[in-house]
Every structure is written in structure tokens, then in C-alpha cells.
Amino acid sequence: MTSDGATHVLAQAAGHEVRRTVRTLADGREIIYFDDTEAAPRAAVDARPHESRSTAGHVRHDVLTGDWVAIAGHRMNRTFLPPKDLCPLCPTGRGSAPSEIPDADYDVVVFENRFPSYAPVTEPVPVVADGFEARPAGGRTEVVCFTSDHDTSFSTLPTSRVRTVIDAWADRTAELGARGGVAHVYCFENRGQEIGVTLHHPHGQIYAYPYVPERTATMLARAREHHATTGRLLGADVLAAERADGSRVVATGSHWSAYVPFAARWPMELHLAPHRDVPDLAALTGEERDELASFYPELLRRLDRYHVDDRGDGIPMPYIAAWHQAPAKGGREVSRLFLQLVTILRAPGKLKYLAGSESGVGGWVNDAQPESIAARLRDLAG
């Protein structure tokens, strides 16, 4: 842990240096700056009233599925689509009120969520009847601001800034995963009101779960079965099979390949995987991070050209970008990092709803042909 106010340089490739500075907000939450420009020292003080920080709720065990559900009633009152002048993710001084970031500008910044799903400080766990189980919703919920520019998007960031975001993800993955009580670290971005974003400013989130979530646990179990049977990594075999087939491959670089999965569930689903066996973001080399910093935004730009309006202009694609990585405390030997990009926009003005089959029993039906999706994305190169 870096003490409050201290700055140190993260190890980077030549020509790209990132300085990491940790400070504290008025209510005691941590804020971490990742600077890649020649900015002044991060010395601004949060001038907002010293209120008590929000606590997390608790998690309840679903005996029918074995999954855990976070009960976070305090999040009902979280900030919802405020006007730009009141954006809590813009630097303080650009709006009419102090924001979550005390400084007048920043490159990339990470801070503890004001309305956490999981946090070190939790509400009392209710007494439950025999046969049921509840625990504190420990862990941590962080917000990652990709840029101080309110009116841009991840896909249009300079390559050097995307690289800084990748370094921030890797830093948080390593630090949070090493903490006691954290079982899994999940970095993700929600983009678009159709997806359910509550703030327009370009940002993502990081959840440090006190348990291994259901989908991650399922994928880990499959990976372990495959490794026990073949001695190989399931993720590596999937990537090799997709590259050998080629019909669903969208783009390939020196270190990364993107493809539409054989059994895609969503109207548009894209996986981005490293060629090397890598368990998590923290394990990526400098060269792998460098290529990812240019490769990934180019894929996002293709998404924004996937659907067009009546004038032929691209329609900004709502999406969820989910980094699947090894659980923090086990399974690293069989897990393999990949990014899953999905959208619920099946056609202009038409959304894919998770209705009776998907929501009721988990029986997915996809109206789109994976090979056709991949062909369309290949055509949108450049």
C-alpha cells in the first residue's frame, strides 16, 4: 500500500511513464491518480464537508443455485444521469459544485465508489432463519475515470491514455486481489443508457468480490475439467480452434486476436484474447499492453459503425466490456484472461431483452448468426 500523498512510478515500457499517487477524500475514501503527463503534484484537498462514508450492505446465499446476492438498499439513492454541470466525475472547478475529484484536471483516476456494492465497511448482517446464510458484503467497489474530458469515449482516447488505463486495471487487479477477504477482481465498463449507465462521463468500474461470482465459478470448473482431461488450458484450446477455423475471427495482431465465439449469446458478442497464456491483467507484459492499447479501441470504433441510421451515420453502440480473469485466490493455473464485449442492441432502435427463456431458465436464443457478425466486423476495419 502507498501512503496518502505519496507518489511512485509504475514500471513501464520506454517512452511511457505513469506516476501513481494515493490521496484521501473528505469522507475517508481512497482516490488514486495515474498520471502520464507532466502534471503538477496531486496536492488538492477535498473541500466538501467531512461526512460519514457510505457502508456496503450484505450478501445472501441463494440455496437454489448456490450463488450469492448483494443486498445494497443504499444504492437506490445513487446519482442518476446528472447534467454535465453537476457531473461528479469531472474535475472540481469545471462544474457548479465540487466533484469526486478534488484536482482541477487529471489523466486517469480511480476512487472508492460513494455508493458501494462491496466495501471494507459494511452494515450489520441481519439475523436469518435456519437454512439461510448471510455475510457482510466486504471487498471493494471502485470507479475508474478514463479521462477528464466529459464529452469523449474510450474508443477515441489517445493510445497513450488507453495504455495508462490498462496499467491502472493491472495495478488494481494485483493490489485488490492480494487483500484478505477478496476472492475475485472484475474490471468492466458499461456504456450507453440502454445498458443502464447512471453517469455519462467515460468511466468503468472494478468490483473486488468477497466470493467468486457464479459465471466465473462455472468457467473455472469447466477449465479445471478440461485441464484434468487434456493437460491443456481450455481458453488456449478455444482460441486455437477459432483461429484455425477463421470464419469468426475479426482481427489478429502479434499478441492478441479478436473473434465472435462459436456459441455467441448476444446480438453482437466479441472476445479479445492474448496469444500467450495469461491469468490476469497484471500478468501482461509491456509489449502485450502496448498492442492492446491500440487494438482494443479500434474494435470499439468498429462497433460504432456496426449499425447505421437513415443518413448512413454510425450509431454509437451500447456495450458491456467485461474482463474475465483468474480468481484472486485460486485457479490461476487453469484460468486464461479474455475480454468479452457484448451489446443488447440487435438492430437500430431494437433491443435484445432477456425475457422468459433467458431470464427464467437461462436458455439463450440468439437471432444473429455468429459468422455473419464476424464478417460484418471484418468489413468495418479501418
Query: Which position among 58, 184, 203, 226 bears the catalytic label?
Result: 203
Task: Give the distance from CA 68 to its chain's centroid.
Answer: 20
| Max CA pair span of the chain | 61
Residue-wise burial string across 41-64, b where 16 or more C-beta atoms lie within 10 A, e elsewhere: ebebebeeeeeebbbbbbbbbeee
382 is written with which cell numbers? Answer: 479501418
Q: Grid coordinates in use for 253? A: 495482431
Instruction: Please spell the DSSP secondary structure of 158-221, one letter per residue.
Output: -HHHHHHHHHHHHHHHHHHHTSTT--EEEEEEEESTTTT-S--SSEEEEEEESS--HHHHHHHH
DSSP state of 263: T
Helix (H) or strand (E) holding 370: helix 370-379
- Return the bridge partners of 35, or none: 19
Based on the residue annotation, tell me whether 203 is a catalytic residue of this protein: yes
| 307 in Cβ contact with 345 (< 8 Å) | yes
Q: Are 56 and 123 in contact (CB under 8 A)?
A: yes
Q: Which residues are catalytic?
A: 203
